[in-house]
Chain A
Amino acid sequence: GENVEQHPSTLSVQEGDSAVIKCTYSDSASNYFPWYKQELGKRPQLIIDIRSNVGEKKDQRIAVTLNKTAKHFSLHITETQPEDSAVYFCAASNGGGTSYGKLTFGQGTILTVHP
């Protein structure tokens, strides 16, 4: 099955700096890659996603890049703010076959933005 590795496990930045979180996946058939943000005690919520027919996607301060050949994708947050502090999860899924779109999650990155 799919295996997703996420790095780093913790990331500490100063307000205004950029933050980058990287994930690798194992199943070359995976074609959907969402990123979730989870604040303390809350549910995970989607912040951005990308499909395999696109190499990059941007939404204000957040961007995701995908390299299908190398099987890795990254989350980029620019101009970080204290409210960006949370746990971030990457995930991958194969939309076809018998997987029924099951998401496999990375282990998570704890991002801390210091004022």
Chain B
Amino acid sequence: NAGVTQTPKFQVLKTGQSMTLQCAQDMNHNSMYWYRQDPGMGLRLIYYSASEGTTDKGEVPNGYNVSRLNKREFSLRLESAAPSQTSVYFCASRFGYNEQFFGPGTRLTVL
């Protein structure tokens, strides 16, 4: 099992550009999550999907959109990137109320 995978690993954008971060899991988990991690701020939830076909806002959803493409895949889109969105983005998945597994992260810089 690959677990949770994310692409790309690194990305540099200019202000106003758009991009999609991809996430996939092969553990047959129902729930998937997107977090951002900034220095001293811990992990903040952007969006989550409790099951295929459902998505909901987390703590910091502004400037982002998500798509739960199927049970395996959950993508995060930045429509018009801003320097404030410079961060490390982690995708995670979970089955029921058990351990949550994280992907390796995407380091995004917006100039």
Contacts of A101 in B (CB 8 A): 31, 94, 96-97
A residues 78-104 in Cβ contact with B at 8 Å: 89, 93, 95, 100-104
CA distance A104 to B45 in the complex (A): 8
Interface bin, chain A = 20 to 34
CA distance A32 to B99 in the complex (A): 10
Q: Is the CB of A93 within 8 A of B97?
A: yes
- Whether a CB of chain A sits under 8 angstroms from the CB of B43 is yes
CA distance A106 to B44 in the complex (A): 9
- Whether a CB of chain A sits under 8 angstroms from the CB of B90 is yes
Q: Is the CB of A34 within 8 A of B99?
A: yes
CA distance A103 to B33 in the complex (A): 10
Tell me which of B94, B99, B100, B104 has the highest count of chain A C-beta atoms within 10 A of its own C-beta.
B100
B94 and chain A: residue at smallest CB distance: A101
Q: Is the CB of A43 within 8 A of B104?
A: yes
- Whether a CB of chain A sits under 8 angstroms from the CB of B78 is no
- Whether a CB of chain A sits under 8 angstroms from the CB of B48 is yes
**Further 14 A-B residue pairs, CB within 8 A, beyond A43-B102, A44-B102, A101-B31:** A34-B99, A42-B104, A43-B90, A43-B103, A43-B104, A44-B90, A45-B102, A101-B94, A101-B96, A103-B100, A105-B44, A106-B42, A107-B42, A108-B40
